[in-house]
Amino acid sequence: MQVGRRGMLACGAGLALGTVQRTARAQTGSFPMRTVRVIVSAGAGSGPDTAMRLLADRLSTIWGQPVVVDNRGGGSGNIGAQAAARSERDGHVLLFSQASPLVLNAHLMRAMPFDPARDLTPVTLAMTTPFVLAARPGLGVRTLPELAARARESREGLTFATGGATSLPRFAGEQLARGLGIRLTNVPYGVSPQALQDTVAGRTDLVIDGTPLITPQLRAGLLTPVAITSAARFPGLEEVPTAAETLPAFEMGGWFALLGPGGMPPALAERIAADAARALAAPELRDRLLRELGAVVSADGPAALATMMERERATLGRLVRELEVPIE
């Protein structure tokens, strides 16, 4: 029996479609087939480590497989990210990372051991951690417009303390100053607690950092809140205005995201993102993340994470150049 050209093409197309369908099922339906290892680009006991361990417990239940955390701190987060980038693309090795190695480090280092845009696949944004800008009480400002007015009338200029010259809070503070049309001088410290203490003591005018560090000082009346960098008012700090209320669309903070090696099949990334969103939807998990890390769940999926990372790379790259931050 002979088969015509159209029949042969139809047969070939059917075989190809069957192969694609079987591949898609292998990529998603049978995942995971064994233990899933999540590389955390920070040390044990850190914020990313705590967050991922809470998430891992939920994912293990959903997947019916162990989900283990593999801490790979060091190198400003690059060591863990590079290890994940070199892994197999079948979803059994993932990366849980803070923002810096994904959107900032490439602007601060002459040679990166990997390309975040090429060598990693965005899976989902997991949670965000906004920054609070607070003032020493004697400064007499409670809002960004008041801060702008105070900065313009100050002969000496105003200072803002951060945990480091290349920290995300520093760049958030610089972006706020640009938006307000004022100049603030950054005073970088080696660690965030020292920046906080010196502002409480009046040695610096302002401090900007995460909510877990600053909130106790606000509650004690040792600092005055000026603005928070989240898009909406923050749970537990509803009295603090957002920067966006003065500077429309302003949003800039820390965040944690789940990624896979570059070239991960899109269907697999979507599957993992959906399962992560399901895990993060648990009210008790959301409460613990907010209470312990000052983090708000934001499971947005691959496309939204990719867009956000691209936008933040551009913003931070511009700030690094304008501020002439030394490149290592």
- Summarised one tens digit per residue, pLDDT across range 214-248 is 999 999 999 999 999 999 999 999 999 999 999 99
Domain annotation covers residue 15: no
Whole-angstrom Cα Rg for the chain: 23
pTM exceeds 0.85: yes
> Are 257 and 286 found together in one domain?
yes
CB 41 within 8 A of CB 48: yes
What's the CA gap between 252 and 33, in Å, rounded?
A: 38
CB 240 within 8 A of CB 227: yes
Pairing of strands 296-297, 120-129: antiparallel
pLDDT digit string (tens) for 260-304? 999 999 999 999 999 999 999 999 999 999 999 999 999 889 999
CB 130 within 8 A of CB 209: no
pLDDT of residue 15: 47
> Are 238 and 259 found together in one domain?
no
Domain with residue 176: its CATH number is 3.40.190.10
Q: Among 245, 263, 278, give the residue marking a domain's end.
A: 245
Q: How many residues does the chain have?
A: 328
CB 276 within 8 A of CB 60: no
> Are 125 and 140 found together in one domain?
no
> Are 118 and 164 found together in one domain?
no
What residue numbers bound the domain in which 46 lies?
34-129+253-322
> Are 211 and 259 found together in one domain?
no
Q: How many domains does the chain have?
A: 2
CB 264 within 8 A of CB 270: no
DSSP 3-state of 105: helix
Domain annotation covers residue 58: yes
Average of pLDDT values for 128-156? 96
